[in-house]
Amino acid sequence: MSFTPAKWPRSLRSQEWYGGSGRDVIYHRGWLKNQGWPHDMFDGRPVIGILNTWSDLTPCNGHLRELAEKVKAGIYEAGGFPVEVPVFSASENTYRPTAMMFRNLAAMATEEAIRGQPIDGCVLLVGCDKTTPSLMMGAASCDLPTIVVSGGPMLNGYFRGERVGSGTHLWKFSEAVKAGEMTQEEFLEAEASMSRSTGTCNTMGTASTMASMAEALGMALSGNAAIPAVDSRRRVMAQMTGRRIVQMVKDDLKPSDIMTKEAFENAIRTNAAIGGSTNAVVHLLAIAGRVGIDLTLEDWDRCGRDVPTIVNLMPSGKYLMEEFYYAGGLPVVLKRLADAGMLHQSALTVSGGAIGDEIAHVLNHNEDVILPAAQALTQSGGIVVVRGNLAPRGAVLKPSAATPALMQHRGRAVVFEDIDDYKAKIADPDLDIDETCVMVLKNCGPKGYPGMAEVGNMGLPPKLLKKGITDMVRISDARMSGTAYGTVVLHTSPEAAAGGPLAVVRDGDMIELDVANRRLHLDIPDAELEARLAAWTPTHEVAATGYLMLHQTHVEGADTGADLDFLKGCRGAPVGKDSH
């Protein structure tokens, strides 16, 4: 794709606030000068908003204030006027009931922060899982020139000579404790090894997946996704991003120019190749909805089905993000896709050029980390979309993290009505369950949890763990962490709280999972299923006030991105009336 830069605008958007000598202009400009800005900072140079998701309660983003200073330096060097703007920061590891419930609120707050203030272009300073999609959603709704810079992953963890992957080993060690294979004291000792530097998860969890999605979409500079948070090259990336956004404003290069259908197809194939998080499904569907791109679950299955998973990282493989970066990072993966005819090479990026040109000469420095296609972790690595009478609008599964022997399975349902029911029953030695059963968790979707928490990878019953069982088929309307693993069917739509068929599954029902044929079936007669659904009444708690009420009233299903219905579409960023 070719891109012809526009001429520098005669009047930047910010000049509606700062240009001229009228009363209203002096109101805006004069007050801002109390920060010590010289008058020539308001002379028509572009105002660049650095939308920063730093927070002491978002540990993955704890270094972003320092990174923002490098972005500012780049903006100054390119002739821009940087302004750092704090925005809503939804931390995956502190927010309750789940950070996902606040993704849409953060997106709404970001959108209005851009629209309501004198900003000509945006740098999105992101890291922890929901900060990347929420800021991209908000920026897409405004469609001002925008670029992403990620905080980067933390360094490798080590425990007694073993690599420790964020999240992945938390689940592994926790199960080992329940199985009697690890002591609680050893678990606490391992805790100190899990997060030994600032940054996001060092596995191919949701944070690194979404950083990869931003780069594959063309919304970040080439190489942004994998640089470790504490590597000096991460700061260089931030400074170069600051320089680049000023030129993007000059060229009027907007998200809608970059995030085309072809760009989303590139991202979907990239997710398959890296063994990316299932959370990327709901996030990319939501971002596409803001840009106005018709992206569906069928696109995920169509584009990802034949893509091999070649990145040998936890939770699918054995390495961590440090090794991925040293091997060449995401540009090498994109080059592999391009060479296989699986990448739209003409897709435009924030560089102003085509993605194919950016990756033409990259090299793979470690073929045990970024594998040859013939040695892929799985030859069909894309997110699988299964359908059937149990999931009429679809459910998803990550093949690279699943057990091949369970990809075709028929088993007796063991039902948990909600997460509290699961917690009350799972450790009961009298629970009627064996390794052939199918664990079913209800009321954990966007409306039901509320917010669709990462509880879909239900821990197995301790009595089975002690037998050496490490995986079972699990089905829910929840999500799971990108760091998690297992044969887990997620995002079942419609969700139970919305009256989907999942709501009426009973203990003892037989369920069939057939991944090859994309089928998820509740083995009861159609008439009985209809009768159960007709008799169903909601059991989940419904809020009467506050954001929770707004969320439950307006959130859409996981199959379309779980966005709020009134936030879909690009509303632009016009300059409003000033009546001071």
Q: Is the pLDDT of residue 8 over 80?
A: no
Contact call for residues 476 and 442 (beta carbons, < 8 A): yes
Contact call for residues 178 and 459 (beta carbons, < 8 A): yes
- For 290, half-sphere exposure in the C-beta direction (CA atoms, 13 angstrom radius) is 29
Quote the mean pLDDT of the chain: 95
pLDDT at residue number 10: 53
Q: Which two tokens stand for residue 381?
A: 């690595």
Residue 15: band (very low, low, confident or very high) from pLDDT cuts 50, 70, 90? very high
pLDDT at residue number 204: 94
CA 30-36-42 angle, to 5 degrees, is: 55
> Environment class of residue 32 by beta-carbon count within 10 Å: exposed (0-12), middle (13-18) or buried (19+)?
middle
Alpha-carbon distance of 197 to 524, in angstroms, equals 52
Alpha-carbon distance of 399 to 403, in angstroms, equals 8
H-run or E-run covering 475: strand 473-476
pLDDT digits (tens, 9 = 90+) for 309-328: 999 999 999 999 999 999 99
pLDDT at residue number 205: 92
pLDDT digits (tens, 9 = 90+) for 353-365: 999 999 999 999 9
Q: Is the pLDDT of residue 9 over 80?
A: no
Pairing of strands 408-416, 438-441: parallel
Pairing of strands 162-164, 157-159: antiparallel
Question: In the predicted model, what is the mean pLDDT of residues 263-269?
Answer: 98
Q: Is the pLDDT of residue 3 over 70?
A: no
pLDDT at residue number 488: 97
Domain ranges of the chain: 45-155+197-375, 157-194, 384-559
CATH code for 45-155+197-375? 3.40.50.2300
pLDDT at residue number 171: 82
Q: Cβ of 365: how many Cβ atoms within 10 Å? A: 14
CA 491-493-497 angle, to 5 degrees, is: 95
Residue 180: band (very low, low, confident or very high) from pLDDT cuts 50, 70, 90? very high
pLDDT at residue number 241: 98
Type of residue numbered 322: E
The pTM (predicted TM-score) of the whole model is: 0.95
Check residue 353 and report its DSSP letter.
S
pLDDT at residue number 191: 87
246: nearest Cα among 47, 37, 113? 47
The CATH topology of domain 384-559 is Glucose Oxidase; domain 1 (3.50.30)
